[in-house]
């Protein structure tokens, strides 16, 4: 998800890399037509959605509680329990539960700015790309440097692990166990460079793109995908080698509407107008047909996976839930703001 936040005098282009694997035979799981609008057996009220400033369960259109922080944009932790977001020059974290107060984990100086950050794989820290000021802001004019800083959400001082000169570096994922950060550099023509940054300071850089406008790493940061132009292809590569990536292509040239990693897996969810496909980085794929929405349109093109990886939700003119094990699907009851990208949250243990 992307935040409309303070940035060091520079408008960052929100990109996501495009990856690729060869195709392999598809399997099709039939979607059972919903017997009720709620499709209760598909939904799990241990989880819910962040929509606007409110949190609601999967099966109830009414908000359970509000966070009280306003309609900010942010990033939900991998387990769905916390939200990190910018408030002016402060990076804050709040527990997603009633009557919680946010706490500040990082404060920027007036001379620097930041927009993008990534959670660590275990949800205990954040990696932030902090930019030097830009004298003449323009989409393809990089800052003098991007400092990659990490901080524990439980408290403590941020630590700078690397500084990349003359580049705008966007963190994608921080593998806490391997002590590696995956990142990339956006441009108006797509991804310019891909980075692997060690906590000890070593930076490995490789050329990427063009045409990779959406780039996302899975939660442990071990695999990355990129998508953009052409719209019928996703490029996937292992964290350590962009060059060894493979292309996954739709069976025809039909347009891919949205792409996202399924939590806890090496599967990429790929949304088409009438179906959701799950593509494994090894090349296997599975097809889940989708029921027609009330308006017959998925025009919002938002794909949200439940934090436990067991269901997906497609936001169009309505919200459709899909149980990934069985392929059963149902239209959810909904009113008010739609859930934000990556907005699946854990309500109870």
In terms of C-beta density within 10 A (0-12 exposed, 13-18 middle, 19 or more buried), how is residue 271 classed? buried
Looking at the predicted structure, is the pLDDT value of residue 134 above 80? no
pLDDT tens-digit map of 220-239: 889 999 998 888 889 999 99
Output the CA torsion 298→300→305→307 (10° steps).
Answer: -150
pLDDT-based confidence at residue 19 (cuts at 50, 70, 90): very low
Confidence of residue 254 (pLDDT cuts 50, 70, 90): confident
Rounded Cα–Cα distance for residues 220 and 182 (Å)? 10
Query: How confident is residue 253, by pLDDT bands cut at 50, 70 and 90?
Result: confident
Looking at per-residue pLDDT, the higher value among 318 and 176 belongs to 176
Q: Do the beta carbons of residue 319 and residue 337 sit within 8 Å?
A: no
From 202, 201, 171, 199, select the one nearest 185 (Cα to Cα): 171
Q: 24: how many CB neighbours lie within 10 A of its CB?
A: 13
Question: In the predicted model, is pLDDT for residue 292 greater than 80?
Answer: no
CB 158 within 8 A of CB 128: yes
Tokens describing residue 261:
């990693």
Mean pLDDT of 323-336: 89
How does DSSP classify residue 187?
A: -
Cα 63 from Cα 176, distance rounded (Å): 34
Q: What is the pLDDT of residue 330?
A: 86
Mean pLDDT of 263-283: 90
Domain boundaries, the chain: 26-346
Confirm or reject CATH 2.130.10.10 for domain 26-346, answering yes or no. yes
CA distances (Å), origin 320, targets 90, 285, 289, 308, 345? 35, 21, 11, 17, 17
Q: Could you tell me what percent of the chain has a pLDDT over 90?
A: 56
Report pLDDT for 300: 66
User: Phi/psi at 97 (nearest 5 deg)?
Assistant: -160, 160
DSSP tag of 53: T
Q: Specify which residues 271 forms β-bridges with.
A: 258, 276
**Partners of 47 in the beta sheet?**
346
40-98: per-residue pLDDT in tens? 578 999 999 999 889 999 998 889 999 999 888 899 999 999 999 999 999 999 999 99
Please tell me the distance from the alpha carbon of residue 113 to that of residue 203, in angstroms, as a whole number.
21
Return the number of other C-beta atoms located less than 10 Å from residue 335's C-beta: 9
Does residue 163 register a pLDDT over 50? yes
């Amino acid at each position: 998800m992307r935040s409309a936040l303070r940035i060091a005098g520079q408008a960052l282009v929100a990109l996501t890399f495009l990856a690729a694997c060869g195709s392999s035979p598809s399997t099709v799981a039939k979607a059972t037509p919903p017997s009720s609008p709620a499709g209760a057996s598909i939904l799990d009220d241990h989880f819910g959605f962040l929509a606007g400033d409110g949190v609601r369960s999967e099966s109830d259109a009414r908000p359970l509680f509000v966070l009280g922080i306003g309609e900010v944009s942010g990033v939900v932790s991998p387990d769905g329990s916390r939200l990190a977001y910018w408030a002016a020059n402060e990076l804050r974290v709040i527990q997603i539960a009633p009557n919680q107060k946010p706490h500040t984990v990082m404060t920027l100086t007036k001379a620097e700015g930041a927009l993008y950050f990534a959670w660590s794989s275990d949800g205990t820290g954040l990696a932030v790309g902090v930019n030097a000021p830009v004298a003449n802001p323009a989409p393809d004019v990089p800052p003098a440097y991007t400092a990659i800083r990490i901080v524990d959400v439980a408290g403590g001082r941020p630590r700078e692990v690397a500084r990349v000169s003359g580049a705008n570096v966007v963190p994608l994922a921080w593998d806490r166990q391997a002590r590696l950060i995956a990142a990339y550099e956006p441009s108006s023509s797509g991804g310019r460079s891909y980075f692997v940054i060690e906590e000890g300071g070593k930076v490995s850089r490789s050329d990427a793109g063009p045409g990779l406008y959406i780039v996302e790493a899975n939660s442990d940061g071990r695999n990355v995908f990129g998508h953009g132009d052409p719209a019928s292809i996703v490029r996937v590569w292992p964290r350590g080698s962009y060059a060894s990536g493979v292309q996954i292509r739709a069976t025809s040239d039909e347009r891919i509407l949205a792409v996202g990693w399924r939590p806890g897996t090496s599967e990429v969810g790929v949304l088409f107008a009438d179906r959701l496909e799950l593509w494994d980085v090894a090349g296997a794929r599975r097809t889940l047909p989708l029921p027609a929405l009330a308006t017959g349109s998925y025009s919002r093109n938002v794909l949200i996976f439940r934090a436990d990886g067991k269901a997906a939700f497609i936001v169009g003119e309505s919200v459709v839930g899909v149980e990934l094990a069985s392929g059963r699907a149902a239209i959810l009851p909904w009113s008010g703001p739609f859930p934000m990208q990556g907005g699946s949250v854990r309500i109870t243990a």
